[in-house]
Structure formats: C-alpha cells, structure tokens
C-alpha cells in the first residue's frame, strides 16, 4: 500500500492504523533520531485521495470482518486503538490535509469500530498556523481526535541539534496554543543520550519552566507522552545516540507531574 499501514504500537498499546501522507520521505524537519530512510527536506506530494480511501477501507475490512488480528497480532494487543496520521514526514504539509481528515471521518462512520477509537495526528506543530490545518484540527476534535505535538527541546540550541529546525520558541508556543484550543493536545517528547550524556540540567529546567509558563497563561494540555529510543536512527548522527536510563526517565516524569500534567512513559 502507498498510504496505509498497520503497526503494533508500544505507545498506543494496541494496533494502530498508520496514514502516511509523506511516501516521498520528505519532511520540513530532520530529527536526528528519525527512523525514515533517505530522509530529505521537503513537503508531502499530492495525495491521491481515492487511493487512500480504498486502502483504508481494505485494511479496516480485514481488521473488523477478517482474521487479520488472529493472523498478525499477539493476543495481548488484539484491539484497534487508533488511526494515526504518522508517516515519513510532516503530515500537515500535505495540501489535502483538511480533505484527508474529512475522508477519515467518512470512512470511520462506515465501519463497526470501537466507540473509543482515536484519530491521532503526530506532528512537529510547525504548520498549525495554516488555516486549512486549523480547520482539519477542528474537524478532528469531533472525531475523538487528539494531537501529539512534538516538543523535544525548548532551547534554540536543542531544537537545532535534535530537530534541525530554526523555528522560534515564540512560534512554537503560539502553535501549541492554537492546537490545544482546537483539539485535545499532548506534548510528545523523545529523550535520549547524545555522546553518552543525557539532557543537561539547563535543558531539563528550561522544559519544565516552559510547561509552568504555558499552563499559568491558561494553556490546556492533556499531558506529556515521554518516550525513549525504540529503534535505531537512520540519520548520520545515529552512532552518537543511546537509550537513556530508566531511572532518569522516571525522575523526569515525576518532575513533570509536579507541574500538574499527566505523563505516559514509554522508556
């Protein structure tokens, strides 16, 4: 398939149907832990909406009415958790993003799916200031949707090192506010060691301070999805990256909780 793929998601805790709007492996960021091969700078290509719909209906038919779960999925994960826009680049760069959300809503309504089934957008948040993206997020909110907004660092140096972006903290905060006002929004943060060192005290304190300020200004967040490296990076910096200690992750999680946010931890 070009756009649709199933995955057993450790963060979702079940089967996730992935929607890849970037089959050209192009993204406007280049995160150093990214597992996409031959990643290039760019945007999503034109989306064949008819093909996307046909692929999604075919996979849902196998999952809902066929024996896909019995053949492909371990017993403990045999439930459909979400449909996730999580491809090989930034999904919101697709010009058809709003149309894709409408398509997902239409297809979702045609199947006997769990009432709690989520529609998830995994995004770096850089394009949420686009009107069409905001309309898509508003529609997502009516489809039991939620946004996973990437926030790996709040320092300029950290974002340039980890995400290879010059997006300002001011724009990131504004886009996060927009996202949270339109659709339930989680921060998703990947933490790891670079050259054997975990995030510095300055990085960690800046992150916690950002959360405090965001919440004190009336920002509403569902919580933080805090996770570590699961699969090897396919970027040039791969040899510099290693998993962080469980103890570090748990201690950082507790500090986030003390600021008033729920944390889902996947070390």
CATH number given to 4-265: 3.20.20.70
For 33, 36, 99, 207, the CA distances from 252, given in Å and listed in that order, are 20, 28, 39, 10
Q: What is the CA radius of gyration of the chain?
A: 18
**Structure pTM?**
0.95
Question: Which sequence spans correspond to the domains of the chain?
Answer: 4-265
For residues 267 and 261, what is the distance between their CA atoms, to the nearest angstrom?
A: 18
pLDDT per residue of the chain (267 residues) written in tens, 0 to 9: 999 999 987 666 688 999 999 999 999 999 999 999 999 999 999 999 999 999 999 999 999 999 888 888 888 888 898 999 988 999 999 999 999 999 999 999 999 998 889 999 999 999 999 999 999 999 999 999 999 999 999 999 999 999 999 999 999 999 999 999 999 999 999 999 999 999 999 999 999 999 999 999 998 999 999 999 988 999 999 999 999 999 999 999 999 999 999 999 987
The 3-state DSSP class for residue 182 equals helix
């Amino acid at each position: 398939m070009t756009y649709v793929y199933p995955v057993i998601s450790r963060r979702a805790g079940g089967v996730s149907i992935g929607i890849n709007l970037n089959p050209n492996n192009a993204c406007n960021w280049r995160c150093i832990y990214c597992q996409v091969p031959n990643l290039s700078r760019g945007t999503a290509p034109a989306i064949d909406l008819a093909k996307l719909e046909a692929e999604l209906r075919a996979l849902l038919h196998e999952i809902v009415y066929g024996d896909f779960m019995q053949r492909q999925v371990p017993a403990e994960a045999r439930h459909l958790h979400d449909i996730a826009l999580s491809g090989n680049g930034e999904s919101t760069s697709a010009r058809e993003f709003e149309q894709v959300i409408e398509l997902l809503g239409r297809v979702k309504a045609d199947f006997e799916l769990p009432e709690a089934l989520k529609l998830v957008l995994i995004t770096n948040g850089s394009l949420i200031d686009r009107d069409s993206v905001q309309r898509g997020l508003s529609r997502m909110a009516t489809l039991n949707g939620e946004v996973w907004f990437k926030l790996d660092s709040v320092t300029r140096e950290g974002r340039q090192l980890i995400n290879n972006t010059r997006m300002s903290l001011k724009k990131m905060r504004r886009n996060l506010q927009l996202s949270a006002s339109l659709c339930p929004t989680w921060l998703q943060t990947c933490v790891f060691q670079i050259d054997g060192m975990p995030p510095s005290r300055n990085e960690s304190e800046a992150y916690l301070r950002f959360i405090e300020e965001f919440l004190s200004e009336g920002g509403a967040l569902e919580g933080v999805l805090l996770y570590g490296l699961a699969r090897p990076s396919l970027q040039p910096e791969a040899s510099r990256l290693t998993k962080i200690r469980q103890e570090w992750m748990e201690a950082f999680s507790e500090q986030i909780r003390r600021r008033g946010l729920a944390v889902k931890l996947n070390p």
